Structure 1
Amino acid sequence: MANQPIFILPEGTERYSKRDALRMNITAAKVLAGIVRTTLGPKGMDKMLTSSLGDVTVTNDGATIMREMEINQPAARMLVETAKKQEDIVGDGTTSVVVIAGELLSKAEELLDDGIATSIVVKGYRNATKKAVELLKEIAIDADDEETLKKVAVTAMSGKGSDYAKEHLADLVVEAALRIKEDGKSDIDNINIQRVSGDSVEDSFLAEGIILDKSPVSKNMPRDVRDAKIAIMKYPIELKNTNTDTKIDITSPDQFEAFLKQEEDMIKELVNKVIDSGVNVLFCQKGIDDMAEHYLKKAGIMAFKRVKKSDMERIEKATGAKLVTDIDDLSEDKLGKAGHVYLDKIFDHELTLIEECDNPKASSIILRGSTRYVTEQIARALDDALGVVAATIEEGKVLIGGGACEIDLVKQLREYGETVSGREQLAILKYAEALEVIPRTLIENAGLDTINLIADLKAAHEDNPFIGINVFEGKVVDMKEAGVIEPLRVKIQALQSAGEASEMILRIDDMIAARNALNSTGPDESGNDASGMPPMPGAGGMGGMPPMM
């Protein structure tokens, strides 16, 4: 019994240890980076994603690609979450985060193969990230004018299906962001992008107020209201269902009639409270009873039900209305104002417009396009542009794009690495080398000569730090003059997120999971599991232990 194996993990558990676990995670990150890498830059390609229900998505937006993909591998999922967080915080740079993280891990693998300890690599990467952020802040330039904001928006939308109309769309984005600017910030949640298929992208426009994809609860209600007094309610104008089982005994027609009369009186009482407040346009987040609809229509009130929470917040920002959660609190001082609320038909889409508001802090962009797929793709480009413009308004600093700031970082990080002693220097130099992946990818995706252009770029940077790659002309040019500009915040967030993600993955030296977590459907014909990774040698089902006979 001395050699009897001891099992501490349940049957079916997979375990990958030390170098096997690290290699598996790094390979998964590199595979994911390789998938999205071809979408980077103005010449990036698109991906077509088809869901299990047959829905088709065509996009080159990194966040959308990773969100739609069903990724099982845990380390790859960590990168996906990092990209989502980048999208949530700054609105753009999701592809760059994954590409940089994948390249950092690839360079780390080279160091590990040379015998450098993981802790040394992690420390070097951490210091290099900190230094890179300091350097970016030093080379950033001020941006406080409308023209710079437009250049930022154009750069963000380049290569995202909107190139032929990006100048017009950039004007809409900047105007919308400046319109809602408050205390030096622009909350892009207060900008609604309403997609309407039909006509061309050039027909897109910025509405004068709020636009809702909603119609009144009755076609017989007013469709055009001037001098609107607006109420927004989170209270149903209908009878509430009882929480417990109830039983009503009705033994005569008179009793039934009295019961219906009582219900009608209760509904009428609710409607009267609305009428007494002076409302002529009502937006309700909850339901409106058919009988209540009748009385509201009779009173000449334009009413909407089941209005989305996000729309309610925009109406509140635009009109000054206060959200009412109890109908007894509805009064004239809680009402918002708008000069004109009316229904309009754009192509075959009926929309409600709220216009002529005093100092509105919310806005809507009507996005046109020939098909649903076109409007969806361009809406994602607009989202990115809004995010970077908002970040620029708040930060007030920008960087020169086209690979210019990355090459500048490479040069200065190498100089910094030479001042660091010990093996940590090697990690810092590899970090600097990894940042070259951005200009290299821009060149590769444009089908240009990578070796010569990178050499020309490095040589030109000795005299001018604003030199970058013009992928349309296939040569190095002054990107500041070309108007290729990126927000400082987006680049800093991308470097910090990529550095943290790669550090997290490098620190994992053991993976223990139930079999279905890593191999839910079993190996395929090629021997790979559902995560897309080949099974690791020596990783038995019992934590690497031989099976019990």
Structure 2
Amino acid sequence: MSKGASLNFKQHDLTSYLKSGSTHFSGMHAVTLRNIEACQNLSKIVRTSMGPNGMNKIVVNHLEKLFISKDTATIMKELEVIHPAAKIIVLATQAQEQEAGDGTNFVCCFTGELLAQSETLIRMGLHIPDILLGYKKAGAKALQVLETLGVKEVSDIRNLDEVTKSIGATIGSKVLGMEDFLAPLIAEACISVCPKTASRFNIDNIRTAKIPGGSVYDSKVLKGFAFVRDSEGSIKHVKNCKVAVYTCNIDQTSTETKNSVVIRSSEELLNYNLSEEKAMEEEIKAIADSGVKVIVSQGGFGEMALHFIEQHGMMAIKCPSKFQVQRLCQAIGARMLVKLVPPTPDDMGTASAVDITEIGDKKVALFQQAEDVDVSGIATIIIRGATANVMDEVERAVDDGVNAFKSLAKDARLLAGAGAVEVALYNELSKYADETPGLEQYAIRKFAEAFLVVPRTLAESAGLDSSIAISNLTAAHAEGKTTWGIDISDISGLDAKENNIFDLLSTKYWGVKLCTDAAINILSVDQIIMARPAGGPKMKNPNGNQHWDEQGEGL
């Protein structure tokens, strides 16, 4: 190297070390504040759906299927969020749905509010590590306080009146005005299949069948299994019967290899047909002699087989869905048979009645059990409604009610609803912030203020002045009325406990825990590095060529 020569290292951007098409963002304004903005925009979408007066959303997915719902889990599932930070909130709502089955709206709105409060602290000059430390302390304290705020405990999970009062508010938040009808219906269905060890309750044991027509108030509960299907023959009603379930076709058996039969005369042809008929008749007769009165097949019924089934006075029902066949076997205590053989006593199921009834314009097969028979592990809720969208929303309300019963079976403690528990948490965390030294006290105070998003949203959705409603609420709590909450018809509020408006402690516990974790994860991000998406050329963006992070609009 010649004298005086110097080394000249050219500085490169991070993307120069990555594959072509990769993108990189870093810095407070490019990452942290834009992540917060994106998450706030996502939470605003579902915030107006909170509470009994919440509004519905119309979502059309990529398959052009229409959804009209206020259920946050459904909305988040169909939105297909692609923003990496907003996706963390979607994952938190999915975790809440899996853990508690309800409270997804609270998770989305509270996480968005936590991030909005953190933005205020950032612009004030507080460092993110101080905010994270304060949020961690506040989240741990909130979970401790939550354990002490229980106002009631369900003493008997099999008491219809107690369960109805406990899950009424959960159902009313989805279908306002129908909770007085649906809550006893769901409670009855859950109690009928609740095992001796209540904590082992399985939500899959509650089935729903949607039949258009009538009104929601025509819905009913069946102890047993029901599916939309007509019988194959003329027999429509059988009582106190044994049921055989087959997964094969009820028809003449065919060999696995191809064979040729040489028939030289008309007598040989007649004898060949008679031998097939005789073999089929013997198989059906053997099934009938075992005591079976109803045959259910996942496959089809041949004409000859159906003829002999009718001769022996048996009902034939086709159930093409393997999933429904499995549920049916669980409901009646039967075993699935893969060959057309006479069932043993252990293979057969029992039913007090098997009826083909007409509900609306649909034929429905009902497998019912007597009240004193403990064979059925399944109850079916028949949902009626004028439109498919109405029935879908009622089905989501039923799902929330069943999940609430499952949570009650594990933890029977209840909290005061209508925003009362959030105001109580706000008061307790505000006191905790005053006692905490250091900069994290500001983050704890903002964490406490984030809880007020629930009563504020409930008041706004009811058309009330939110500032006055929250002032009345905090004043009532200062007087010792810790169960005082938002009244959607009166700005002065109401006693949530006396009006049977409850939140499940386990649902709220998981909600606070997941919100805290999600907010901390999002605030901890200081860089976003994205590889080029795999696959071929992208579809043309109908909104132009804007990137998801431009102006914080794309979600």
TM-score, normalised on structure 2?
A: 0.84
Change (3 A) 1:325 1:473: farther
> Is 2:429 the counterpart of 1:421?
no
Give distance in 1, aligned partners of 2:533 and 2:132. 31
The amino acid across from 2:10 in the alignment is N
Q: Judging changes above 3 Å, is the alpha-carbon distance between structure 1 residues 426 and 225 closer, same or farther for their aligned structure 2 residues?
A: same
2:33 corresponds to 1:23: yes
SS in 2 for 1:101: helix
Specify the code of the residue in structure 2 equivalent to 1:142: E
Among 384, 388, 391, which residue is 1:368 paired with? 384
Kindly indicate whether the alpha-carbon contact (under 8 Å) linking 2:133 and 2:440 is maintained by their aligned counterparts in 1. yes
Instruction: Quote how far apart the aligned CAs of 1:407 are.
Output: 0.5
Residues 104, 502 of structure 1: 8 Å contact kept = yes
Partner of 1:195: 210
- Which residue matches 1:143? 154
The reply on whether 1:400 has 2:411 as its aligned counterpart is no
Matched, 1:153 2:171: no
Structure 2 match to 1:333 = 346
Partner of 1:473: 490
Q: Tell me which moved more, 47-56 or 331-340.
A: 47-56
Question: What percentage of aligned pairs have identical amino acids?
Answer: 30
Deviation at 1:163, TM superposition (A): 2.7
**Could you tell me which residue of structure 2 aligns to residue 539 of structure 1?**
none
2:10 matched residue in structure 1 = 3
**Amino acid corresponding to residue 494 of structure 1 in structure 2:** G
Three-state SS of the structure 2 residue aligned to 1:127 is: helix
Within 5 Å, which residues of 2 pair with 1:197-212? 197-212=212-227
Counterpart of 1:58?
A: 68
- Pick aligned residue for 1:493 from 481, 487, 510: 510
Q: Distance in 2 between matches of 1:59 and 1:483?
A: 25
Deviations 1:178-216 (A, max 9, x none): 111111243232112222221222222222432222233
Residues 237 and 270, structure 1, Cα contact 8 Å, conserved in 2 = no
Does residue 169 in structure 1 map to residue 182 in structure 2? yes
Deviations 1:240-264 (CA, angstroms, capped at 9, x unpaired): 9999xx8x57595579989999999
Structure 1 contact 237–271 (Cα < 8 Å) conserved: no
Q: Which residue is 2:55 aligned to? A: 45
CA distance in 1 between counterparts of 2:33 and 2:526 reads 10
**Could you say if the C-alpha distance between residues 342 and 249 of structure 1 is closer, same or farther in structure 2, counting changes exceeding 3 Å?**
closer
Q: 1:298 to 1:28 in 2, by over 3 A?
A: farther
Partner of 2:400: 384
State the secondary structure of the residue aligned to 2:550: coil
Unaligned runs of 5+ in 1: 537-549
Per the TM alignment, residue 440 of structure 1 is displaced from its structure 2 partner at its CA by: 1.0
Residue range with higher mean Cα deviation, 74-83 or 264-273: 264-273
CA drift at 1:18: 4.2
Is contact 1:402-1:479 (8 Å) kept?
yes
CA distance in 2, matches of 1:418, 1:259: 95
| Aligned partner letter, 1:139 | L
Partner SS, residue 489 of structure 1: helix
- The CA deviation at 1:375 is 1.6
The answer to whether the Cα contact below 8 Å between 2:319 and 2:325 also exists between their aligned partners in 1 is: no
Gaps of 5+ in 2: 1-7
509-518 or 388-397, which deviates more: 509-518
Displacement after TM superposition at 1:293 (Å): 5.0
1:74-101 Cα deviation digits (max 9, x unpaired): 3323322322332233221111110111
Per-residue CA deviations over 1:22-66 (Å, capped at 9, x if unaligned) read 333322211110000000011111112234554322111111112
Return the alpha-carbon distance in structure 2 between the equivalents of residues 239 and 16 of structure 1.
68
- Note the 1:281-296 alignment, pairs <5 A: 281-285=294-298, 293=306, 296=309
Q: Measured at CA, do residues 523 and 311 of structure 1 come closer, stay the same or move farther in structure 2, by a change above 3 Å?
A: closer
> How far apart are residue 296 of structure 1 and its match?
4.5
SS at match of 1:458: helix
Task: Look up the match of 1:454.
Answer: 470
Cα 1:274–1:503 change in 2 (3 A) is farther
Counterparts of 2:128 and 2:254, CA distance in 1 = 61
Q: 1:14 to 1:412 in 2, by over 3 A?
A: same
Distance change (3 Å), C-alpha of 1:113 and 1:274: farther
Number of the residue aligned with 1:225: 238
CA distance in 1, matches of 2:342, 2:106: 50
**Paired residue for 2:522?**
505
Deviation digits for residues 451-507 of structure 1 (CA, Å, limit 9, x no counterpart)? 121111111102110011101222222111122112111111211222222222223
> What SS class does the counterpart of residue 353 from structure 1 fall into?
strand
Tell me how far apart the structure 1 counterparts of residues 517 and 53 of structure 2 sit (CA, whole Å): 29
Aligned residues: 528
Q: Which deviates further from its counterpart, 165-174 or 288-297?
A: 288-297
Alpha carbons of structure 1 residues 197 and 259: separation in structure 2 relative to 1, 3 Å:
same
2:246/2:337 contact within 8 Å kept: yes
| Structure 2 CA distance for aligned equivalents of residues 262 and 25 of structure 1 | 76
- Cα distance in 2 for residues equivalent to 1:178 and 1:10: 58
Indicate which of 499, 507, 515 corresponds to 1:482: 499
Paired residues for 1:11-160 under 5 Å = 11-19=20-28, 20-140=30-150, 141-144=152-155, 145-160=159-174
2:418 partner SS: coil
For the pair 1:534 / 2:555, whether they are aligned, the reply is no
Partner SS for 1:225: strand
CA contact 1:316–1:322 (8 Å) conserved in 2: yes
Say whether the 8 Å CA contact 1:152–1:385 is kept in structure 2. no
Query: Judging changes above 3 Å, is the alpha-carbon distance between structure 1 residues 324 and 443 closer, same or farther for their aligned structure 2 residues?
Result: same
Q: Give the CA deviation at 1:288.
A: 5.7
Rounded to whole Å, the distance in 1 between the matches of 2:41 and 2:255 is 55
Rate the CA distance shift 1:352–1:14 in 2: closer, same or farther, 3 A: same
Tell me if the contact between 2:192 and 2:223 (Cα under 8 Å) persists in the aligned partners.
no
Alignment partners' CA distance in 2, 1:522 and 1:310: 40
CA contact (8 A) 1:48 1:58 kept: yes
Please tell me whether the aligned partners of residues 19 and 532 of structure 2 are also in contact (alpha carbons under 8 angstroms). no
Match of 1:213 in 2: 228
**1:72–1:517: 8 Å Cα contact kept in structure 2?**
no
Secondary structure of 1:104's aligned partner:
helix
CA RMSD across the alignment: 3.4
Conserved? CA contact 1:57–1:373, under 8 Å: yes
Q: Is the 8 A contact 1:343 1:350 kept in 2?
A: yes
Structure 1 residue 277, shift from structure 2 partner:
4.8
Alignment partner of 1:303 out of 308, 316, 321 = 316
1:153 and 1:173 in contact (8 A); partners too: no
SS of 1:74's partner is: coil
- Kindly indicate whether the alpha-carbon contact (under 8 Å) linking 1:527 and 1:535 is maintained by their aligned counterparts in 2: no
Q: Could you tell me how far apart the structure 2 residues matched to 1:241 and 1:350 are?
A: 32
CA distance in 2, matches of 1:395, 1:278: 45
Greater Rg over alpha carbons, structure: 2
